[in-house]
Amino acid sequence: AQKITQTQPGMFVQEKEAVTLDCTYDTSDPSYGLFWYKQPSSGEMIFLIYQGSYDQQNATEGRYSLNFQKARKSANLVISASQLGDSAMYFCAMRERGSYQLIWGAGTKLIIKP
């Protein structure tokens, strides 16, 4: 069964608009962490933001915020005021407590239009 689901294969967004990238996850472990990464065409995987399962508040990092809805098992990434440089693949990943591996979604290709 898919543990991380990203339902949007691709998105086009106008520059300066906000964008929400969807991520749902499946785990029976009460302790886990959720991560978002950005992968430009060059290939490097860039860490953006982290949300812990016990965190009371949604994580924020500059223009990135995470809309964490634990009961619905969703962890959507929100990018405010999008820029042309935001064009990239975006991956949602999860790490369960006691495991060393990141489990990844299939990614969303985001294209920012000028």
Binding site for other proteins (CB under 8 A): 4, 31-33, 35, 37, 42-47, 50, 52-53, 91, 93, 95-107
Task: Say which amino acid occupies 67.
Answer: N
Tell me the closest approach of the beta carbon of residue 25 to other proteins, in angstroms.
12
Toward other proteins, which CB reaches closer, 3 or 63? Answer: 3
Toward other proteins, which CB reaches closer, 56 or 114? Answer: 56
Tell me the closest approach of the beta carbon of residue 15 to other proteins, in angstroms.
26
Toward other proteins, which CB reaches closer, 18 or 46? Answer: 46
Tell me the closest approach of the beta carbon of residue 108 to other proteins, in angstroms.
11
Alpha helices in 15-109 (DSSP H): none
CA 104 to chain centre: 10
Residues across the chain: 114
DSSP state of 54: T
Toward other proteins, which CB reaches closer, 32 or 68? Answer: 32
| Burial group, residue 49, by CB count within 10 angstroms (0-12, 13-18, 19+) | buried
Q: Which of 88, 85, 89 minimizes the C-alpha distance to 15?
A: 85
